[in-house]
Amino acid sequence: MDQLVEKISQQVLAQLNKEQPNGDQACHGCVLRACSVAKRACDQAKFDRKVPIGVSARHVHVTQSDLEILYGDRHQLTVLAPLYQPGAFAAKETVTIVGRRMRAIEGVRILGGVRSYSQVEVAPTDAIRLGLQPPIRDSGDLKGAEPITLVGPHGSVRLDEGAIVPSRHVHMTPEEAEDFGVSEGDRLKVHMVGERSLIFENIRPKIHPDYVLQMHLDTDDANAAGLRGGEAVELLKVL
């Protein structure tokens, strides 16, 4: 297995730092702080007292020690673009993620800054491609998560409990939570309008003074509802 991982590492090494999205692609999904669109739909949604959607593609979070294994001693993440949530950013660094039977997905972006844990967040269709059955979890809740291997240009890291499908969640400030009548521990319900209208439930509020109002969906949920990011949705009720 180590030889196969090394082979994959060599195959993707030349591509790891070449996959940098241009401005229009980076704006897709309304996940970045800035983009080429003059009037952002996600910003307008907040003024209309609705919740804007952010589409979150598969990505990786790493500790500093794991980053150095992947990219070399004392390596620091390089900011590619700031994300919509303050302090978070898409890094230039990418890795290959390897599941069971050497099923792999290349060019998976690391999101910064570094964390106290390493994890991989994938959509259910990504999990099928990797041969995994990861649990639906909040970020950092890794007990019972699926094993997965990260491959970088300088080495590989096996996470015995590392892969999850992220839970549907919405970021909001304490003031916004009070305005919506939401508390930590609530489960929310929203209506996605449009040609592929859906009602999504079991949405977890994440409340912090530094957050910007936005609901995060993985790419499977977003595609099912025909969403690209930035759309305004109305909170129906607290479950």
Task: Tell me the pTM.
Answer: 0.82
Indicate the class that CATH gives domain 37-55+168-238: mainly beta
Which is more confident, 52 or 150?
Answer: 150
Report pLDDT digits (tens) over 57-106. 999 999 999 999 999 999 999 999 999 899 999 999 999 999 998 999 99
Q: If you average pLDDT over residues 205-231, what whole number do you get? A: 92
The CA distances from residue 66 to 37, 74, 89, 109, in Å, are 36, 11, 18, 15
Mean pLDDT within 133-139: 96
Cα(99)–Cα(121) distance, integer angstroms: 13
**Distance between CA atoms of 222 and 216, rounded to whole angstroms?**
9
If you average pLDDT over residues 105-113, what whole number do you get?
Answer: 97
Q: How many residues in total does the chain contain?
A: 239
Greater model confidence, 83 or 22: 83
Task: List the domain boundaries for the chain.
Answer: 2-26+57-165, 37-55+168-238
Please compute the mean of the pLDDT values over residues 25-49 and round it to a whole number. Answer: 60
Question: What burial letters (b/e) apply to 91-122, b meaning 16+ CB within 10 Å?
Answer: bbbbbbbbbeeeebbbebbbbbebeebbbbbb
| pLDDT over 70 (residue 7) | no
Strand, coil or helix: 147:
strand
> What SS3 state is found at 45?
helix
In 10 A of CB 24, how many CB atoms? 10
Q: Which residue has the higher pLDDT, 103 or 45?
A: 103
Q: Give yes or no for residue 112 having a pLDDT over 90.
A: yes
Q: How confident is the model at residue 195 (pLDDT cuts 50, 70, 90)?
A: confident
